[in-house]
Amino acid sequence: MMSAITIDQADARLAEPFPVPHASNFVEDSFGVSVALSLGDARQVFRWVAPGRFLMGSAPGEAQRGGAEVLHEVTLSHGFWLADTSCTQAFWLALSPANPSHFQAQANNPVENVAWHDAQRFIAELNRRLPGLPARLPTEAEWEYACRAGTTTPFSFGEQVTPAQVNYHGDHPYADGLGGLHRQGTVPAGSLPANPWGLYEMHGNVWEWCADWYAEYPTEVQIDPRGPSFGKMRVLRGGTWSDPARYARSATRSRIEPAYRPRSTGFRIVLGHP
């Protein structure tokens, strides 16, 4: 097993981003490449995430780790475009007649109060409106791979985080960290620092639905895992504004029934065939 997360940069360069129907504004910057989708006045940027290998889960010595985070090697053989933020209320309202969110102060706040089924209906409508668009939810492995962005530490920012980097309950810092600001609600998408791959608020702000049914991890090497074929609860990742910092770790796993609509749950869109 690998001793650290690795990306084969030569292979990554050969894995060219595939064309995205209906996308525009191709940009290359210090984070990589991105494209944008527009729905009326609403816009969502997507970052290219190249194929690679990483260690999914947490090391036995990681502080405040969960019991379902068995470390195992995962290979993702296909790249994908991942939204650089969770779906905003503005992007949601471009397709949906009503805003389910509790925190509606700004249109670019993440949409929340969203069930897994709600997210799937939104994505189905997005694919219907933009024929040929391969939009979907990320798999749990894709989500953690993108969140880690080549890191092995508890957070993509390192061993520790502060409320200046992550929106969590500042009265409950990680491990031996110092207390800080508790915002008591969501912040606008993209308003906190990006991880090394240009993705915003992968830690904290809102929980994000993944495609997978929840199950215990395997211990053997996995290639393009998609979770079990059936189950009772769907996977959530990332932590939220109301949770202690430990739940914002890259490896933290949560799960609830797919019809449930918590005030802290949103989603992030992937473009690419699984």
Provide the pLDDT for residue 16: 65
Helix (H) or strand (E) holding 80, with range, is strand 80-83
Supply the pLDDT for residue 4: 41
Q: Which two tokens stand for residue 249?
A: 């770790």
| Residue 228, burial from CB neighbour count under 10 angstroms (0-12, 13-18, 19+) | exposed
Secondary structure element (H or E) that encloses residue 256, with its range: strand 254-256
- For 99-150, what is each residue's pLDDT tens digit? 999 999 999 999 999 999 999 999 999 999 999 999 999 999 999 999 999 9
Predicted local confidence at residue 11, as pLDDT: 44
Domain extents for the chain?
A: 9-271
pLDDT given for residue 13 in this prediction: 40
Strand partners, 29: 32
Neighbours of 259 (CB within 10 A): 10
Note the pLDDT of residue 154: 98
pLDDT beneath 50: ranges in the chain: 1-14
Reported pTM: 0.94
Residue 3: per-residue pLDDT: 41
What's residue 21's pLDDT? Answer: 87
Domain 9-271 has CATH 2.102.10.10: no
Contact 266, 87 (CB under 8 A): yes
Rounded to a whole number of angstroms, the CA Rg of the chain reads 17
What CA–CA distance (Å, rounded) separates 110 from 101?
Answer: 8
Phi and psi at residue 158, to the nearest 5°? 130, -155
Q: Which helix (H) or strand (E) holds 122?
A: helix 116-129
